[in-house]
Structure formats: C-alpha cells, structure tokens
C-alpha cells in the first residue's frame, strides 16, 4: 500500500483534508434545508459540486495505478464495458467508500431525492481510465 491512511479508520481530521473546502458549504446548506443554493444544476435534477481535494485525488490515483501494476490479475473489471478499471472495494477501500456514502453523501441524497434515498446501504464503486485507442470494439 502506498497510502495506508486510505485503508484504516478515517477520523474527522482525515476527512477534513480529503473533502474539498467547498463541500463544507454544501453540507451546511443541506443541514440548513437550502441545499440547492450551494449546488450547480447542470440539467434538471442533475447537480454538481466539488467533493475531493486534489491531494486526495492524487493519493487515490496512485493507489489505483499501483494496484494496476502489481495486482491486475487478481482484480475484476468493474463492468463489461471497461477493461481499464478497478472496483475500489477489491483494493480494500470499501470502508472508506461506505463512510463517505453514509456520513457525507446520504444527507445530500436525502435532501435532493427523498424517495430514492430511503436506504442505499451498498455500493459498487469503481474507477476507470479512458484513453484514446483503449476499450474500443475491433
């Protein structure tokens, strides 16, 4: 492992350095009942916001690239369309993704989509690489 902090219990200090500063405003707006003002609406019902810091993204990508280089044969593809991807749970990141989902994203899902968010308790989280000439039908 290159970044053991990603794989152990994450305290608030870790999340404070991994979540983008703008996410705090989004979370506060959700608690205040005014979430939509803190989001960018890309299309009707589709919202975006900054979630991770660049340093967290760098750590995650380094772990994924390391796994691709050292454990590729042991890892399943995330789906039938992507040969260049990894299921994050297989890397040992299920606790991190679960905590992100349950503690940080559920309040947003509940505020934006109350009917649909009545119980997400699982995830299939993966990352894929897109590059010209890869994952094309021949």
What are the pLDDT digits (tens) for 79-120?
776 667 788 888 889 899 989 998 899 889 888 888 887 766
Q: What angle do CA 99, 111, 31 make, to 5 degrees?
A: 75
Please tell me the predicted confidence (pLDDT) of residue 21.
93
Q: Is the pLDDT of residue 131 over 80?
A: no
The model's pTM is: 0.82
Determine the pLDDT at residue 79.
Answer: 72
For the cut 70, the answer to whether the pLDDT of residue 133 exceeds it is yes
* pLDDT confidence of residue 69: 87
Q: Is 40 helix (H, G, I), strand (E, B) or coil?
A: strand
C-alpha–C-alpha distance, residues 4 and 15, integer Å: 14
Residue 135 — pLDDT band, cuts 50, 70, 90?
A: low
Say how many C-beta atoms besides its own lie within 10 A of residue 128's C-beta. 16
E strand or H helix at 42: strand 40-43
pLDDT, mean of residues 52-77:
88
């Amino acid at each position: 492992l290159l970044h053991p902090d990603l794989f152990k219990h994450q305290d608030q200090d870790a999340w404070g350095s991994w979540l983008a500063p703008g996410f705090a405003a989004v979370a506060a707006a959700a608690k205040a009942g005014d979430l939509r003002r803190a989001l960018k609406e890309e299309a009707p019902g589709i919202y975006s916001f900054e979630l991770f810091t660049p340093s967290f993204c760098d750590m995650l990508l380094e772990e994924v690239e390391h796994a691709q280089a050292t454990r590729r044969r042991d890892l399943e593809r995330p789906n039938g369309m992507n040969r260049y991807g990894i299921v994050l749970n297989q890397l040992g990141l299920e606790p991190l993704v679960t905590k992100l989902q349950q503690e940080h994203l559920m309040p947003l899902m509940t505020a934006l989509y109350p009917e649909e968010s009545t119980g997400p308790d699982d995830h299939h989280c993966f990352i894929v690489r897109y590059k010209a000439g890869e994952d094309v039908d021949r």
